[in-house]
Chain A
Amino acid sequence: MTAVAVTGIGAIAPNGKGTDAYWKSTVEGLSGIVPVSRFDASGYPAKLAGEVPFDAAAHLPSRLIPATDHMTRLSLAAAEWALQDAGVDPAELPDFGAGVITASSAGGFEFGQRELENLWNKGPKYVSAYQSYAWFYAVNSGQISIRHGMRGPSGVVVSDQAGGLDAIAQTRRQIRKGTQLIISGGVDGSLCPWGWVAQMTDTRMSTSDDPERAYLPFDPAAGGHVAGEGGALLVMEELEAARRRGARIYGEVAGYGATMDPRPGSSREPGLRRAIVTALDDAGVNPDEVDVVFADAAAVPELDRIEADAIDAVFGPGKVAVTAPKTMTGRLAAGAASLDVAAALLAIRDGVIPPTVHVSRAPEYSIDLVTGAAREAQVRTALVLARGHGGFNSAVVVRAAR
């Protein structure tokens, strides 16, 4: 089967804008979780977020500003950085040779709140002409394809937080069918009052106001997560073609598996373990070849239990390093998983596993959680896990290119 490589990374995260800034903070254990500043959150139960302040005018053409939500602007920046990092200009590729496949969760929700306010306060004639596309789920794929002249196969998947991995899998599928290059992943976020209230209804958001105690997966004090914005976009290409053009190869997307949990109330096993096994089989990798697992890290005790059990069942208790750098960014909706894939590839490059910050592993878990400081280790193969509200489980294996 055709091998598919990652040749460019554009990360934009609460603890660093740009791949270098993000990775430096992440290895050093620097968190970007702060009290919400985008709006007055003092009256809401959840008060902290992973925010990405962004001067759009400095990064984007002015005509795009009135037509885009904040998260689309972040995605346009990440796409540009990923292409620069890969050393590719899609306009120079053959016609229909490049596409864009992103994950979305809620679309441009802040833009949508403003237009709902216009409609219900002032009337239909005050709704923006951009509303028809600025909020919808396909907006980032559309805007990125237009900006970079990418006319090949594009797509958009929505599977809550698991979508970031599903987009990468769909990208690999399209590259195997013959598309030369695809920008893939997710950059997301809905940090506006309406998006905040909607996110809180999943009952998994932390109500702590202490940035160091708010998001503690696998910790005795686990009490939900912090929501954030940002993510990563990756340039993916067929491995041999990338080598021929002399591209720097971060690694290979070697395996993928996706499952749904059984219906609530079912006594059947949750789907995460099966997603892991499927991804390892797909990659042709034995569990003992995996050097690190980037956990979904829900920080909800029953969900942490399911994840720790799945990791133990596949690898054996304590047999593989596990980490959750998203403790430094919060959960970035459809952006979280592709940012973890970026971190996994950078871990392979630098031989370092970034830490799970502020967490003391609860004694009931036997996973080898990398807490405190980053751990130096040879990383050849990494597994990234992501779960979405409603039962989505996805797993991706990345490894150093052979």
Chain B
Amino acid sequence: MIRRRVVITGIGVLAPGGVGTKNFWSLLSEGRTATRTLTHFDPTPYRSRIAAEVDFDPQEHGLRAQEIRRMDRAAQFAVVAGREAAADSGLEWSGVDPHRIGVTIGSAVGATTSLEDEYRVVSDDGSAHLVDHTYATPHLYDYLVPSSFATEVAWAIGAEGPSTVVSTGCTSGIDAVGHAVELIREGAADVMITGATEAPISPITVACFDAIKATSVHNDDPEHASRPYDSTRNGFVLGEGAAGFVLEEYESAKRRGATIYAEIVGYATRSNAYHMTGLRADGAEMAEAITAALDEGRLNPADLDYVNAHGSGTKQNDRHETAAFKRSLGDHAYAVPVSSIKSMVGHSLGAIGSIEIAASALAIKNNVVPPTANLHHQDPELDLDYVPLTARDWRTDRVLTVGSGFGGFQSAMVLSRPERSAA
């Protein structure tokens, strides 16, 4: 059986530092950072007071009053990014059978911000355990169960094919796209709207990462607080955002003359079965995911031109993934540029995997590798080429992007310039 090939034909990004794919790529290629002192609420009582926030006005992006009332911020992000991707694809949507269009959206924490806002109302700021149902918004069920994100995107695009939300913590953004690829390959859909979204910057999220000291406390230097691979790093910077994609079967995309960003040639996920937040130092499970993704794409480690790393900015992660790259890529780990865009756009939990897929596809399109910002003093235990500070002009045909998250999930995806894919 000939395997159906799956390509990215549309991208929409809504990331800290600027809404829209163009603004996103400017930020990355110029090595600017979008982290700052948290403004969504007063961060004074918190340990970490930094965030990578999106300046977002839903009305400016065409959402109507009732949509804004009904949707959590993360759902709004998903719809706006999905629409940008849909328009970018140039697909004549009215000519596509809605039954053949599916939706998979990643999110780690769903509508947590709206849930917390609504909780404060029905509990009267936490005072009532038996919360008052008469104060509940009629849209609360859509916040309770975040499959509403897939529903909203399906309604926005007019999709009636297989649809779901994928929620595997911080690998959700890779796993949702991987799931979409599988649905096209097996023939359940011809076009997928996919991607991931997150809007987690709320008191409960900041407090729970404070409690485990996972987030950065460079509160006096918020613009330079996300420092993957740097000796002075002390945690990740919480971010928000979304990326949306249109995926199509390659032959039909080619027939209609679509602009093809990249082919998704390999995807795999593994679990560390070790600890809900801890990582084994040897990186064995991420390495296994990388090897499986390369195998699926029929590629060797030496075929990779760029590794878009998880690079969250915790010491544990930096060492874990560096070990995983060496274990899976061998000597090529030392030759291939590796960088973390979380240094610039923070860590938006379930969304970042998709935002990083967008960065990977744009690296292929532009033949530019985005840098790791804020990397002035490389951790001496880390010895790969982490592309410090400035973007690099670099022939980029094939990219590996990886994610690692709570629950032990480790995911890897390989993108290729389609004419350079192994057939």
Give me the interface of A with B, judged by CB distance under 8 Å: 39-40, 43-45, 67, 95-96, 99-100, 104-107, 109, 112-113, 115-117, 119-121, 123-125, 127-129, 131-133, 136-139, 141-143, 145-146, 148-160, 163, 166, 170, 173, 190, 193-203, 258-264, 268, 271, 274, 333, 388-392
Contacts and interface: CB of A to CB of B under 8 A. Distances in A.
Contacts of B127: 121
Interface string B40-84: 000001110000000000000000000000000000000000000
Given A124-B206, A155-B269, A202-B141, A138 B167 contact: yes
Contacts of A158: 110, 145-147, 164-167
B148 interface: yes
Contacts of B288: 95-96, 151
B335 interface: no
Given A201-B144, A263-B158, 12 more contacts: A45-B133, A124-B46, A124-B203, A124-B207, A124-B210, A133-B276, A146-B274, A150-B271, A151-B288, A260-B154, A260-B161, A262-B98
A197 B138 CA distance: 10
Interface of B: 45-47, 98-99, 103, 108-110, 115-116, 118-120, 122-123, 125-127, 129-133, 136-148, 150-151, 154-155, 158-169, 175, 179, 182, 186, 188, 203-204, 206-212, 214, 268-277, 285, 288, 405-409
B140 A119 contact: no
Contact of A389 (B141, B163, B274): B141
A127 B147 contact: no
A128 B276 contact: no
For the complex of A and B, 9 pairs with smallest distance between CB atoms: A120-B126, A142-B407, A390-B151, A137-B167, A131-B208, A258-B162, A198-B144, A202-B141, A124-B207
Contacts of B146: 137, 158
A132 B214 contact: yes
B144 A388 contact: no
Contact of B131 (A154, A197, A260): A197
A99 B289 CA distance: 13
Nearest to A259: B160
B407 A138 contact: yes
A157 B167 contact: yes
B137 A156 contact: no
A175 to B, nearest CB: 13
B207 A388 contact: no
Contact of B109 (A96, A136, A198, A199): A136
Contact of B406 (A109, A142, A154): A142
Contact of A259 (B151, B161, B179): B161
Nearest to A263: B155
Contact of B165 (A113, A132, A157): A157
Contacts of B271: 99-100, 141-142, 145, 150-154
Contact of A119 (B163, B203, B270): B203
Contacts of A391: 151, 154
A200 B134 CA distance: 11
B147 A160 contact: yes
A115 B151 contact: no
A296 to B, nearest CB: 15
A390 B147 contact: yes
Contact of B140 (A115, A166, A197): A197
A146 B272 CA distance: 8
Given A116-B116, A190-B144, A259-B99, A200 B108 contact: no
Contact of B270 (A141, A152, A333): A152
A163 B210 CA distance: 32
B159 A153 contact: no
A45 B211 CA distance: 37
Contacts of B277: 132-133
B409 to A, nearest CB: 6
B45 A157 contact: no
Interface centre among B120, B163, B175, B214, by most chain A C-beta atoms within 10 angstroms, is: B163
Given A132-B212, A137-B167, A123 B126 contact: no
B269 A123 contact: no
Contacts of A95: 288
Nearest to A190: B144
B328 to A, nearest CB: 13
Nearest to B139: A201
B209 A123 contact: no
A146 B151 CA distance: 32
Contact of A127 (B165, B167, B211): B211
B211 A128 contact: yes
B164 A392 contact: yes
A260 B151 contact: yes
B174 to A, nearest CB: 11
Nearest to B406: A133
B218 to A, nearest CB: 19
B277 to A, nearest CB: 6
Given A258-B162, A263-B158, A131 B110 contact: no
Nearest to A134: B276
Contact of B144 (A106, A121, A149, A156): A106
Given A96-B270, A201-B138, A390 B148 contact: yes
A193 B129 contact: yes
Contacts of A151: 270-273, 285, 288
B167 A170 contact: no
Contacts of B285: 96, 151
A198 B141 contact: yes
A129 B212 contact: yes
Given A96-B288, A150-B273, A159 B186 contact: no
B163 A260 contact: yes
A116 B119 contact: yes
A138 B108 contact: yes
Contacts of B151: 260, 390-392
A105 B210 CA distance: 26
Contact of B129 (A96, A117, A138, A145): A117
B208 A156 contact: no
A197 B99 CA distance: 34
Contacts of A141: 168, 271, 407
A95 B280 CA distance: 15
A60 to B, nearest CB: 15
29 contacts: A39-B130, A96-B288, A99-B271, A113-B119, A120-B120, A120-B126, A124-B47, A124-B207, A125-B210, A127-B207, A133-B276, A137-B109, A141-B271, A151-B271, A153-B269, A154-B271, A193-B130, A195-B144, A197-B131, A199-B144, A201-B144, A258-B161, A259-B162, A260-B161, A262-B160, A271-B160, A333-B145, A390-B145, A390-B148
Contacts of A264: 155
B122 A197 contact: yes
Contacts of A146: 273-276, 408
A132 B406 contact: yes
